[in-house]
Chain A
């Protein structure tokens, strides 16, 4: 028997939940690692990433009956992921930082012990580079929080979660050309804020011709 598509599973969930969670569990198993990876990229902490991933799938559970499948399930899921992650960044920032023994020299919350990026992806990275990378990620989080929420969401969906322009347009029920230009403006706004907040990491010196009004659009 051919594997059920996401859309088949969504249809089943609508008739089965909350009595039977089997189809929902298959959807979760199919997407949980990707959602978790995307969240971890920004929060850099195992517990926070799991908590936010759970929150995403709880929202999916409660939202499935309203999901009308105009966009694919995955683009809907990644829209929820982007929104939930951006909301969570505020909470993470407000949370007091705890400096643990053996942690980064600057007390960064980056989960170095549990960080697969440190152990798997870049085995040659030295301690200086690891610290720099953690600081850069924190800076990127700050820039995303400084942006208009819609711009932050679009950037996370397109440039971090790799959702296509077409899928984003469907998920947001907007025209393709409008979505492309909104993402373009979001990149320019990000670049400008990045220059201000994180200029020490990368030397970005490209001015933008957009007026402040246009940037907020």
Chain B
């Protein structure tokens, strides 16, 4: 087993998830790869550090009333979105009305002659 192959196995070696025969082979190869040894040691230290942090931590319980507060938060968000949706619809209708109004104001006044000629043509 060369260093490259051994490096691939380091994560499992750290976590102890290698089958026995492969673990024995990897451990035997460690003496030939000082870099692998150092990395293994470093990764094990970090794993141990986090394990210690976890071990301190008994199963905690969320504070009482958590689910009620969570559902209220979701409900508030929904209400907020509905209000936003409603206000955006209202705003869109207002804009359409405004455009129609402006359109009516700036449209050229109807020319009586044109109407007459159209009527004549018909």
Q: Mask for B34-73, Cβ within 8 A of A = 1, else 0?
A: 0100110111011101110111111111110011011101
> Which of B15, B43, B54, B66 has a CB less than 8 Å from the CB of A32?
B66
Given known contacts A29-B67, A34-B59, A61-B74, is B54 in contact with A208 (CB within 8 Å)? no
Q: When the two chains form their complex, are residues A159 and B63 in contact, meaning their CB atoms are under 8 A apart?
A: no
Residues of B close to A159: CB separation below 8 A = 46-47, 50-51
Contact check, B42 vs A36: say whether CB atoms are below 8 A apart.
no
Residues of B in contact, count (CB < 8 Å): 39
Q: Which residues of B contact A209 (CB under 8 A)?
A: 35, 38-39
**Does A36 contact B45, Cβ atoms closer than 8 Å?**
no
B70 proximity list for chain A (CB < 8 A): 28, 54, 57-58
Residues of the B chain whose Cβ atoms lie less than 8 Å from the Cβ of A184: 10-11, 14, 39, 43
Interface string of A19-41 (1 = CB under 8 A from B): 00100010011001110110011
Once the chains bind, are A183 and B38 in contact (CB under 8 Å)? no
Least CB distance from B19 to A in Å reads 15
Shortest Cβ distance from A209 into B: residue = B35
Contact with B along A136-149 (1 / 0, CB 8 A): 01001000000000
Would you call B12 an interface residue if the criterion is a C-beta within 8 Å of the partner chain's C-beta atoms? yes
Residues of A within 8 A of B12 (CB): 180
Q: Does A131 contact B (CB under 8 A)?
A: no
Q: B56 and A133: CB pair below 8 A?
A: yes
Q: Given A41-B54, A160-B54, A208-B39, decide whether A25 and B11 contact each other with a Cβ distance below 8 A.
A: no
B29 to chain A, nearest CB (A): 16
Q: Map CB proximity to A onto B96-113 as digits: 1 under 8 Å, 0 otherwise.
A: 000000000000000000
Kindly state whether residue B78 has any CB partner on chain A within 8 Å: yes
Chain B residue contacts of A41, Cβ below 8 A: 53-54, 56-57
A57 to B73, CA, bound (A): 10
- 14 A-B pairs in the complex with CB atoms less than 8 angstroms apart: A32-B62, A37-B57, A50-B62, A54-B73, A58-B70, A58-B74, A117-B56, A121-B57, A165-B17, A180-B12, A181-B11, A184-B14, A188-B42, A191-B45
